[in-house]
Amino acid sequence: MKQSVISHITKVSFVLALLLILIWLSPRSDNSFKYYFEIGKPWGYELMTAEFDFPIYKTDRQIEDEQMEVIREFAPIYRFDRAIVESKLSALADSSKVLSQKSRELVVSRLRRIYDEGIMSAADKDRLVEQSTANISIMSEGHQSLLVSLGSVHSPATAYSLLQNELHEHAPEALHRIDIANFVVPNLTYDSVMSKRLLDAMIDNISPTEGMVQEGEKIIDRGEVVTAETYQILVSLSKAYDEQQLRQRRGIYSTVGEVVVMMFYLAMLLLYLLVFRPNLYEQKRNILFFCMLIAIEACLTFVVVRFTSLSIYVVPYIWVPVLVRVFYDSRTALYMHILTVLLMSLYMAAPYEFIVLQMGVGMLAVGSLKDISQRAQLARTAVYIFLAYSVLYTAQTVISAGTILTIDPWMYVYFAINGLLVIGAYGLVYIIERTFGFVSSITLVELSNVNSGLMLELAEKAPGTFQHSIQVSTLATEAAKSIGANTLLIRAGALYHDIGKLIDPACFTENQQDGVNPLNELDCIEAAQKVISHVLYGVELARKHHLPKIVTNFILTHHGTGKVRYFYNSWVNQHPGESVDEQKFTYPGPRPTTKETGILMMADAVEARSRSLTEYTPQAISDMVEQMIKMQMDDRQFELSPLTLNDVEKIKQVFKDKLISMNHHRISYPEIKK
């Protein structure tokens, strides 16, 4: 009783540990606005109204456009260098004495006017033209700014050309007597520091908001399509939540709600195992395995959501049903998948779409892996998964948006990656087998290969036992099919159940030649112990060759706690009236505890007994099968097995039919008369 309580506490602790992991990894635990919305898709929630006043934030694109507009219209600052002007005019006055007073005054006047309009370097002028700058701001020495058109500002070349044309018309002698180009230099200098400071200030002054939403104002109602304007209001509301004091209170309520939902679903896992799979619930490793699978998916979800920009559909949630199906049954695989999807949907921004896609894909995956025994099946399932994801995503998008224009092509890439990761689950099978001691159907198929090392050794050293094992495997497999037992498991168990006879093959009748039996030289007790020893030696060989424990159980239980009847009966006949130590003639057991081990015990006894029949008529075979199985049932060998009386009747009928077909009468070939 105490051990049972401890076992229950341990199993519940596994589930509670998983609950803590799910809460800790919840990628939305720090966000109080948990609505999912997209432009062009209907609003899937209740009527949304503003709980408080909040501003409507501009989109990043709007702010970026306004910044670009400011940059385009910004007038860079140039400083007017009066000293350069006066210096050049003074030099002109000194060098132009050869001119008449009228020509000299005309040259100075024209040059002063050009300098007043401004001359900038050719590089600056070209750069501003390329940037489509319309105006510049000229800063005088008195820090007064004058906004002028870029077109009215000269470069040295245009200033020289203008001055030359005017002098050619009004004072041609000046062109011949002075070098005008020496007096035309830039007098506008770009002030990069002041320009950057002013531009940054203008950009910083751009308002991040446009308009307000008043408390109580309707935002959107269920079924209404989210427009670009509504989308921005909802985004603004999400930001407002983060800025409000409500965040902490709402965060607590949200977390409590998530915890309650998670606890409910995890309780459903335990309830399912208790009611429908009590044999799985009994073993703590099964609970740990299920919790580990969910925890792995939660960790992968957390990493993708928190640290990458990838779609959540790159996470291989199909690992859960695939791996559960490999080691258990389809119903448990589908139940685990549904449970995992519901738990992970709490992490999703679009839970409805997530559930629709994952449910459909999961059902297809479980259906395509009814009996997984080859790697090719996983590859085929991966293709099915890709196609299912693609079809469901496309249909769901069309349903929501009413158009195919909103389909994201990258989603199909993610679906393909997901399919490839499903193939990678094959590598996980081996790791899980070694970690938890499970045996997959793939491993059972590999063990059933009669060309394996141990089977070849049995065929070489104990050919009769090898043939017996093959026949038992055939009988047991057909019987397992008739009652829905695990055929792969029983086939492997039947092939290895008698490997212990390798210890001394000649001691067993199926390997003896010329009727020589070494056991006849021993007394009955020694002979019985020699026969019994093949069970323990078989276990030793199984461990040496790393056979799974579930297969080793067939070696231990194929005789149960029955007696070596031949030598037991012989001893009793030889010692009439004496008490017999039955333990010395009894196999160590244990008795069969599963349908498969129970079937093998019957098949082993029936096949061995069939070899001693003197005639193989249907009646003789039927009587023999009835007698052998009745003897085992009277010996209470199947009390711990879940086999029902109906199962036993079906098994007996299969044995009769198979033995009759295996030992049918063959015609004799006539010889050619000479």
Amino acid of residue 147: L
pLDDT reported for residue 30: 46
The reported pLDDT for the residue numbered 218 is 86
Q: State the pLDDT at residue 632.
A: 94
177 pLDDT above the threshold of 80: no
Tell me how far apart the alpha carbons of residues 141 and 80 are, in angstroms, rounded to a whole number: 7
Q: Would you give the DSSP letter of residue 311?
A: -
User: What single-letter DSSP state applies at residue 80?
Assistant: E
pLDDT band of 602, cuts 50, 70, 90: very high
Alpha-helical segments (H) within 520-594: 524-544, 549-557, 565-574
Q: Are 512 and 502 in contact (CB under 8 A)?
A: no
Cα–Cα nearest to 312, from 364, 261, 347, 339 = 347
- Kindly state the average pLDDT of the residues 27-46: 65
Q: How many C-alpha atoms does 672 have within 13 Å on its Cβ side?
A: 1
Residue 408 CB contacts under 8 Å (≥ 6 apart), including other chains: none
CA atoms of 346 and 375, how far apart (whole Å): 33
Kindly state the average pLDDT of the residues 468-491.
94
Q: Inform me whether the pLDDT recorded for 29 exceeds 50.
A: no
Task: Spell out the residues 6+ positions from residue 457 whose beta carbon is closer than 8 angstroms to its own.
Answer: 502
Q: What's the pLDDT at 31?
A: 47
Instruction: Dump pLDDT digits (tens) for 55-87.
Output: 888 888 888 888 888 888 889 999 988 888 888
Which pLDDT score, from 0 to 100, does residue 652 have? 95
What pLDDT was estimated at residue 296? 95
Structure tokens at 148: 């002028």
Omega within 30 of 0 (cis) for the link into 588: no
What is the C-alpha separation between 359 and 337, in angstroms, rounded? 8
Would you say 388 and 360 are in contact if contact means Cβ atoms under 8 Å apart? yes
pLDDT in tens, 205-240: 888 888 888 887 888 887 788 888 888 888 888 887
**Which of residues 397 and 484 earns the better pLDDT score?**
484
Q: Scanning the structure block, which residue is given the tokens 């408390």?
A: 215
Give me 441's structure tokens.
């159907």
SS (H, E, C) 636-660: CCCCCCCCCHHHHHHHHHHHHHHHH
CB atoms within 10 A of CB 502: 18
Q: What is the per-residue pLDDT across 341-387, written as a single tens digit (0 to 9) for each?
A: 999 998 886 788 899 999 999 999 988 876 666 667 778 888 999 99
Helix (H) or strand (E) holding 210: strand 209-213
Confidence at 509, pLDDT banded by 50, 70, 90: confident
Is 244 a residue whose pLDDT tops 70?
no
- What is the percent of the chain where pLDDT is above 90? 39
The pLDDT assigned to 375 comes to: 64
- Give me the mean pLDDT over the 118-129 stretch: 89
| Higher pLDDT pick, 434 / 250 | 434
Strands 218-220 and 188-190: unpaired
170 vs 461, more confident: 461
Residue 103 and residue 177 in contact, taking contact as beta carbons nearer than 8 Å: no
CA distance 110 to 166: 8
Q: What is residue 14's predicted lDDT score, i.e. its pLDDT?
A: 94
pLDDT attached to residue 453 = 86
563, β-bridge pairs? 586
Whether pLDDT at 638 is above 70: yes
Residue-level pLDDT at 668: 54
The separation between CA 548 and the C-alpha centre of its own chain, rounded to angstroms, equals 28
pLDDT number for residue 392: 93
Query: What average pLDDT is seen over the chain?
Result: 86
| pLDDT at position 271 | 95
Structural domains in the chain, CATH included, are 2-40+248-436 (no CATH), 69-204 (no CATH), 441-662 (1.10.3210)
Mean pLDDT for 126-152 is 85
